[in-house]
Amino acid sequence: MFGRRGKRGRHHAGRDNAPAKAVDAGEQGYQDQAELEPASGPYDAADAPSDGLSRLDLGSVQVPVPDGAQLQVEMEPSGSVRAVHLVTPVGQLTISAYAAPRSGGLWKEISEELGEKLRSDGARVVREAGEWSEELVASANDVALRFVGVDGERWMLRGVVAGPREHAHIAGELLRNVVRETIVVRGPNPMPVSTALPVELPPAIAQHIQQQQAQGGQG
């Protein structure tokens, strides 16, 4: 599912761009975050493993890319990056990081607000026990969404997958695998709680998008 990895280690954040290898989804029952094994991600950049796993470096997050996934970049009108999506056969994955208090608890607050918003839009919403905390599961028409949140050291990581309802189970497993191997680069600067950490494209991808925009402007 992901590219090859080497021996597992700690305290080093790799910045590779090659494909990556499958990781076992593991047990999906509820675990308090404090009870997770130290080697279980997602990781803060200060504690990231030297595991040989290739990750796409997006500045604030370093994300493993599933085999066969395509990147979809969403831009702001100002030209900055709003989000980077991983489009797979079972659904579209989006991994985002936010500034959070040291005390944690931001995901609980955000998930409650998100659940209310989804219900107001007509979606059916339920909560399920997850690997790190409660997961939010929503469905509307033939589309299923799953939100996973993890409270870290001054950051909160949110992952979401949206896709056909018939692929909802495997899409959820894929989302957890990606979240589990993600590295968060919070940075030292103070930021208001809930502020999205900036997303930056690797130079080669940024250059490709600039060329496409230039060609589009000439058309």
pLDDT at 70 (0 to 100) = 96
pLDDT at 219 (0 to 100) = 57
Asked whether residue 154 is domain-assigned, the answer is yes
Asked whether residue 217 is domain-assigned, the answer is no
Provide block-wise average pLDDT over 10 residues at a time, the chain (219 residues). Answer: 46 34 31 45 94 94 96 89 96 98 95 97 97 97 97 98 97 98 96 96 90 73
pLDDT at 217 (0 to 100) = 64
Whether residue 42 is preceded by a cis peptide bond, meaning omega within 30 degrees of 0, is: yes
Asked whether residue 119 is domain-assigned, the answer is yes
Return the CATH number at 37. Answer: 3.40.1000.10
Who's near 26: CB < 8 A, 6+ residues apart? 131
pLDDT at 32 (0 to 100) = 40
Rounded to 5°, angle at Cα 84 from 107 and 116: 35
Euclidean distance between CA atoms 153 and 61, whole angstroms: 14
- Contact present, 175 and 204 (Cβ < 8 Å): no
pTM (2 d.p.) = 0.79
Asked whether residue 171 is domain-assigned, the answer is yes
Q: Which domain covers residue 134, as residue numbers? A: 33-212
pLDDT at 118 (0 to 100) = 97
pLDDT at 101 (0 to 100) = 96
- Contact present, 127 and 106 (Cβ < 8 Å): no
Q: What is the dihedral of CA 170, 148, 8, 197, to 10 degrees?
A: 130
pLDDT at 39 (0 to 100) = 47
Smallest CA-to-CA distance from 195 within 186, 204, 203 is with 186
Asked whether residue 95 is domain-assigned, the answer is yes
pLDDT at 93 (0 to 100) = 99
pLDDT at 71 (0 to 100) = 95
Asked whether residue 179 is domain-assigned, the answer is yes
* Helical (H) or strand (E) element with 63: strand 61-63
Q: How many domains does the chain have?
A: 1
Asked whether residue 218 is domain-assigned, the answer is no
Q: Measure CA 14 to chain center.
A: 17
Asked whether residue 84 is domain-assigned, the answer is yes
Q: Whole-angstrom distance between the N-terminal and C-terminal Cα of the chain? A: 39
